[in-house]
Structure 1
Amino acid sequence: MPSRTSARLAALTVAAVCGAASAVVATSPAHADSVRVHDIQGTTRLSPYAGKQVADVPGVVTAVRTYGSSKGFWLQDPNPDADPATSEGVFVFTSSTPKAAVGDSVTVSGTVSEYVPGGTASGNQSVTEITKPVVTTVSTGNPVPAPVVITKRAVPERYAPAGDPAANNSINALPLDPKTYALDYYESLEGMNVQVSDARVVTGTDPYSELWVTVKPKEHRTERGGTLYGSYDAQNTGRLQVQSLGATADFPQANVGDTLAGTTTGPLDFNQFGGYTLVASALGTLESGGLERETTRKQASGELAVATYNVENLDPSDKTFDAHASAIVNNLRSPDIVSLEEIQDDNGATDDGTVGASATVDKLIDAIVAAGGPRYDWRSIDPVDKQDGGEPGGNIRQVFLFNPERVSFTDRPGGDSTTAVGVAKENGKARLTVSPGRIDPANAAWANSRKPLAGEFVFKGRTVFVIANHLNSKGGDQALTGQYQPVVRSSETQRHAQATEVNTFVKSLLGVQKDAEVIALGDMNDFEFSDTAKTLEGDGQLWSAIKSLPRSERYTYDYQGNAQVLDQILISKSIRRGSFDYDSVHINSEFHDQISDHDPQVLRFRP
Structure 2
Amino acid sequence: MLIAVGLASAFAITSLPAAYATPSGTAVIAEVYGGGGNSGATLVRDFVELGNAGSAAYDLSGYSVQYLPGSPSASSQWQVTALSGAVAPGGRYLVAEAAGTGGTTALPAPDATGSVAMSATSGTIALVSGTAALSCKTAADCAAESRIVDLVGYGSAVVREGSGPVTGASNTASVARGSSLADTDDNAADLTAGTPSPVNSAGQTPGSGDGDGGGGGGGDPTTPGTVRVHDIQGTTRLSPLNGQSVTRVPGLVTGVRTSGSKGYWIQDPSADADPRTSEGVFVYTGSADPAVAVGDSVLVSGKVSEYYPSSTSQSLTEITGPTATVLSGGNALPTALTLDPASVPDAYAPTAGGGSIDALALEPAVYAQDFYESAEGMRVTFADARVVGATTAYDELWVTVKPDESPSARGGTLYSSYDQPNTGRLKVMALDTAAAFPTANVGDELSGTTTGPLDYSTYGGYNVQATALGTLVDNGLEREVTRRQKGDELAVATYNVENLDALDEQEKFDRLAEGVAVNLSSPDVVALEEIQDDTGATSDGTVTSEATLKRFTDAIRAAGGPRYQWRYIAPAENQDGGEPGGNIRQVFLFNPKRVSFTDRAGGDATTATGVVKTRKGARLTYSPGRIDPAGDAWDNSRKPLVGEFVFHGETVFVIANHFTSKGGDQPLHGRYQPPARSSETQRQAQAAEVNTFVKSLLAADKNAKAVVLGDLNDFEFSPTVTTLTDGKVLKPLITTLPAAQRYTYVYDGNAQTLDHILTSPAVTRFDYDVVHINAEFADQASDHDPQIVRIDVAKCR
Query: Normalising by the residue count of structure 1, what TM-score does the alignment of the two structures yield?
Result: 0.93
CA shift, 1:30, in A, is 3.8
1:562 to 739, 742, 750: 750
Question: Is 1:139–2:328 an aligned residue pair?
Answer: yes
Aligned-residue Cα RMSD (Å) equals 1.3
Question: Is 1:242–2:431 an aligned residue pair?
Answer: no
Larger radius of gyration: 2
Distance of aligned partners of 1:260 and 1:334 in 2 relative to their CA distance in 1, 3 Å threshold:
same
CA contact (8 A) 2:225 2:249 kept: no
2:565 to 377, 395, 398: 377
Unpaired runs of 5+ residues, structure 1, are: 1-26
Which one-letter code corresponds to 1:527 in the other structure? F
1:57-103 per-position Cα deviation (integer Å, ceiling 9, x unaligned): 101111111112x2111010011111111100000111211111111
Question: Is 1:289–2:479 an aligned residue pair?
Answer: no
Aligned partner of 2:276 in structure 1 is 85
CA contact (8 A) 2:454 2:462 kept: yes
1:298-348 per-position Cα deviation (integer Å, ceiling 9, x unaligned): 111000000000000001122311111111111100000000000000011
Aligned partner of 1:9 in structure 2 is none
Structure 1 residues 263-278: aligned runs within 5 Å: 263-278=449-464
CA contact (8 A) 2:501 2:533 kept: yes
Aligned equivalents of 1:436, 1:366: Cα separation in 2? 22
Aligned equivalents of 1:174, 1:497: Cα separation in 2? 35
- DSSP-derived class of the 1:187 partner: helix
Aligned partner of 2:253 in structure 1 is 61
CA contact (8 A) 2:725 2:731 kept: yes
CA shift, 1:427, in A, is 1.8
2:761 to 573, 591, 595: 573
- DSSP-derived class of the 1:107 partner: strand
Aligned partner of 2:340 in structure 1 is 151
Question: Is 1:600–2:786 an aligned residue pair?
Answer: yes
CA contact (8 A) 2:224 2:299 kept: no
CA shift, 1:272, in A, is 1.4
CA shift, 1:428, in A, is 4.1
Aligned equivalents of 1:28, 1:152: Cα separation in 2? 45
1:115-145 per-position Cα deviation (integer Å, ceiling 9, x unaligned): 0113xx2x10000011111211111111111
1:39 to 231, 241, 251: 231
Aligned partner of 2:91 in structure 1 is none
1:160 to 334, 349, 367: 349
Which one-letter code corresponds to 1:97 in the other structure? D
CA contact (8 A) 1:476 1:491 kept: yes
CA contact (8 A) 1:29 1:138 kept: no
Aligned equivalents of 2:280, 2:402: Cα separation in 1? 24
CA contact (8 A) 2:533 2:583 kept: yes
Aligned equivalents of 1:186, 1:107: Cα separation in 2? 25
Aligned equivalents of 1:500, 1:330: Cα separation in 2? 35
Aligned partner of 2:705 in structure 1 is 517
1:193-246 per-position Cα deviation (integer Å, ceiling 9, x unaligned): 111111110000011111000001110101100000001111000000001112
Question: Is 1:436–2:627 an aligned residue pair?
Answer: no
Aligned partner of 1:179 in structure 2 is 365
Aligned partner of 1:71 in structure 2 is 262
- DSSP-derived class of the 2:587 partner: strand
CA contact (8 A) 2:744 2:784 kept: yes
CA contact (8 A) 2:768 2:788 kept: yes
CA shift, 1:392, in A, is 1.0
1:533 to 721, 726, 751: 721
Aligned partner of 1:475 in structure 2 is 663
Distance of aligned partners of 1:32 and 1:209 in 2 relative to their CA distance in 1, 3 Å threshold:
closer
Aligned partner of 2:730 in structure 1 is 542
Aligned partner of 2:639 in structure 1 is 451
1:129-162 per-position Cα deviation (integer Å, ceiling 9, x unaligned): 1111121111111111121111111000100011
Provide the aligned length of Structure 1 versus Structure 2: 573
Which one-letter code corresponds to 2:700 in the other structure? V
CA shift, 1:31, in A, is 3.4
- DSSP-derived class of the 2:321 partner: strand
Aligned equivalents of 1:534, 1:33: Cα separation in 2? 59
Which one-letter code corresponds to 2:282 in the other structure? F
Which one-letter code corresponds to 1:539 in the other structure? G
Aligned equivalents of 1:82, 1:357: Cα separation in 2? 65
- DSSP-derived class of the 1:250 partner: coil
Question: Is 1:395–2:583 an aligned residue pair?
Answer: yes
Aligned equivalents of 2:224, 2:631: Cα separation in 1? 68
Aligned equivalents of 1:104, 1:217: Cα separation in 2? 35
Which one-letter code corresponds to 1:205 in the other structure? T
1:352 to 534, 537, 540: 540
1:301 to 457, 463, 487: 487
Aligned equivalents of 2:427, 2:573: Cα separation in 1? 38
Aligned partner of 1:5 in structure 2 is none
Aligned partner of 2:296 in structure 1 is 104
Distance of aligned partners of 1:380 and 1:160 in 2 relative to their CA distance in 1, 3 Å threshold:
same
Which one-letter code corresponds to 1:162 in the other structure? T
CA shift, 1:32, in A, is 4.8
Query: Normalising by the residue count of structure 2, what TM-score does the alignment of the two structures yield?
Result: 0.71
Unpaired runs of 5+ residues, structure 2, are: 1-218
CA shift, 1:248, in A, is 7.3
Which one-letter code corresponds to 2:314 in the other structure? Q
Aligned equivalents of 2:592, 2:329: Cα separation in 1? 74
Question: Is 1:422–2:614 an aligned residue pair?
Answer: no
- DSSP-derived class of the 1:573 partner: coil
Question: Is 1:465–2:656 an aligned residue pair?
Answer: no
Aligned partner of 1:52 in structure 2 is 244
1:454-499 per-position Cα deviation (integer Å, ceiling 9, x unaligned): 0000000000000000001000000000001101000001000000
Aligned equivalents of 1:208, 1:309: Cα separation in 2? 25
CA contact (8 A) 2:221 2:248 kept: no
Q: Percent of counterpart pairs with the same letter?
A: 63
2:393 to 207, 231, 235: 207
Which one-letter code corresponds to 2:263 in the other structure? G
Distance of aligned partners of 1:431 and 1:419 in 2 relative to their CA distance in 1, 3 Å threshold:
same
- DSSP-derived class of the 2:728 partner: coil
Distance of aligned partners of 1:494 and 1:161 in 2 relative to their CA distance in 1, 3 Å threshold:
same
1:338 to 526, 546, 550: 526
Q: Larger RCO: Structure 1 or Structure 2 (Cα < 8 Å, ≥ 6 residues apart)?
A: 1
